[in-house]
Amino acid sequence: MWPALQAAQRQRGQTGKNPNVGAALWRHGRLVDVVATGDGGRPHAESQLNILPGDVLAVTLEPCAHEGETPACARLVADARPSKVYVGCLDPDPRTSGHGLEIMKEAGISVQAGICEHKARHVMAGFLTRMIHQRPHVRLKLAMTRDGRSALADGRSQWITGFEARQHGHLLRAEADAIMVGAATFIQDQPTLTCRLGLSGRDPEIFVLSGREEISSLPKNVQILGTSGGQQDLSQILRQLAQEGIGNLLVESGGRLAASLLQAELVDELYCYQSDLLLGANARSALGALKDQELLLPKGMIVKERRQLGQDQLTRYVVER
Ligand code: AOF
Ligand code: ZN
């Protein structure tokens, strides 16, 4: 499953409304092909393989069972008669869920589902969260000093973290369908929010969450979200984004929006980049006020990974629901 997972990971944020499925094929014990869903969601992964009888196939998501503009992948696989198919996780799409496995089993193929399921769910989290919870999978990115500050009192924030940490942040952009920022951050920083990793064509859509601030000139790749001036209903906004097909959402925000999202239990992963700087209590907080906070991490959140990025540290938290 590992080559299939890697291929799926590389297509994260590139497949539109469709899942970023990865597939790998073995023949006589040798890996012969590795593919993933194409840009924009087509072609499906399995349909790019030339499967011969006796091959072994690993695919991160249950092959689709519906005939659309193209034949069902489960049917393609069944007709090709591989000896064994390993599946990461079931497809929550009701047109497929379980039927894809059935089609292959009825053709006499040995099918094993739930292989590296946890990892498969992580890699395809955008699609799965959108299908199951009708909202995008939300990654919140915070860059802060050792004392939890994101900018000086006058708003200056270049640079809190160093080169390596910022490069890592660009990787998150490459894996996002869209980036959401608060209006204040957008005006203050005028961020370009592009993915500057030399990976062309991987710039996500940009949404600015409307606030009290007036945004005068808007670049054409940027859209405004929410009602002007007031408090935003974040669940509603995320539902709207999911309807538009956004599965992988990266939030690069100031402290207030970050706190609101955490408080509303709408964050699935938190990437916290921390530098050695100390700015003191007059500087701006990277994380705004949390109501009724106890001496605990927000509900369901655990530390999943900690690593050094140049001079800075990344702590990755995930929320297990
Ligand atoms: C697969 N392999 O690589 C992908 C799948 O609109 P369509 O016809 O492209 O179908 C979209 C659905 O197909 C999507 O909701 C999901 O269930 C499945 N995506 N299936 O076998 C793939 N991308
Ligand atoms: Zn398919």
Q: What is the mean pLDDT of residues 254-280?
A: 96
Q: Cα(275)–Cα(268) distance, rounded to whole angstroms?
A: 23
Calculate how far, in angstroms, residue 69's C-alpha sits from the geometric centre of ligand 2. 10
* The CA-based dihedral angle spanning residues 122, 127, 129, 130, taken in that order and rounded to the nearest 10 degrees: 170
Q: What is the mean pLDDT of residues 260-273?
A: 96
Q: Which atom of ligand 1 is nearest to the CA of 20?
A: 23
Overall number of domains in the chain: 2
For the stretch 11-43, pLDDT in tens is 999 999 999 999 999 999 999 999 999 999 999
Active site residues: 46
Q: By the 8 A CB rule, do 110 and 99 touch?
A: no
* Residue finishing a domain among 78, 109, 128: 128
Q: Which atom of ligand 1 is nearest to the CA of 36?
A: 3
Helices (H), 33-116: 73-80, 99-106
Residue 230 shares a structural domain with residue 305: yes
Q: What is the mean pLDDT of residues 259-288?
A: 96
Residue 189 shares a structural domain with residue 312: yes
Q: What is the mean pLDDT of residues 171-182?
A: 93
Q: Which atom of ligand 1 is nearest to the CA of 41?
A: 23
Rounded alpha-carbon distances, angstroms, from residue 308 to 55, 193, 278, 312:
41, 23, 18, 6
Residue 93 shares a structural domain with residue 197: no
Q: By the 8 A CB rule, do 14 and 202 touch?
A: yes
Count of Cβ atoms closer than 10 Å to residue 216 Cβ: 6
* Residue 199 confidence (pLDDT) above 70: no
Q: How confident is the model at residue 182 (pLDDT cuts 50, 70, 90)?
A: confident
DSSP state of 92: -
Q: How high is the pLDDT of residue 281?
A: 96
Q: How high is the pLDDT of residue 231?
A: 73
Q: How high is the pLDDT of residue 226?
A: 81
Q: How high is the pLDDT of residue 299?
A: 86
CATH of the domain at 94: 3.40.140.10
Residue 173 shares a structural domain with residue 104: no
Angle at 243 between CA 241 and CA 247, to 5 degrees: 60
What SS3 class is residue 306?
strand
For the CA of 99, the nearest ligand: 1
Least confident of 24-33, 215-224, 256-265, 297-306: 215-224
Residue 154 shares a structural domain with residue 271: yes
* Residue 115 confidence (pLDDT) above 70: yes
Nearest CA to ligand 1 atom 14: 18
Nearest CA to ligand 1 atom 22: 44
Domain range enclosing 6: 2-128
Q: What is the mean pLDDT of residues 226-233?
A: 74
Residue 100 shares a structural domain with residue 177: no
Ligand 1 binding pocket mutation candidate from 17, 44, 69, 70 (most atoms within 8 A of CB): 44
Residue 310 shares a structural domain with residue 270: yes
Ligand 1 binding pocket mutation candidate from 64, 97, 103 (most atoms within 8 A of CB): 64
For the stretch 48-96, pLDDT in tens is 999 999 999 999 999 999 988 789 999 999 999 999 999 999 999 999 9
Rounded alpha-carbon distances, angstroms, from residue 130 to 134, 136, 173, 244, 248:
5, 5, 18, 10, 9
Q: Say what the pTM is.
A: 0.93
For the stretch 132-143, pLDDT in tens is 999 999 999 999
Residue 195 shares a structural domain with residue 143: yes
* Residue finishing a domain among 128, 149, 182: 128
Residue 174 shares a structural domain with residue 312: yes
* Residue finishing a domain among 64, 96, 128: 128
Residue 155 shares a structural domain with residue 103: no
Q: How high is the pLDDT of residue 252?
A: 93
For the stretch 133-175, pLDDT in tens is 999 999 999 999 999 999 999 988 888 999 999 999 999 999 9
Using omega within 30 degrees of 0 as the cis cutoff, is the peptide bond preceding 159 cis?
A: yes
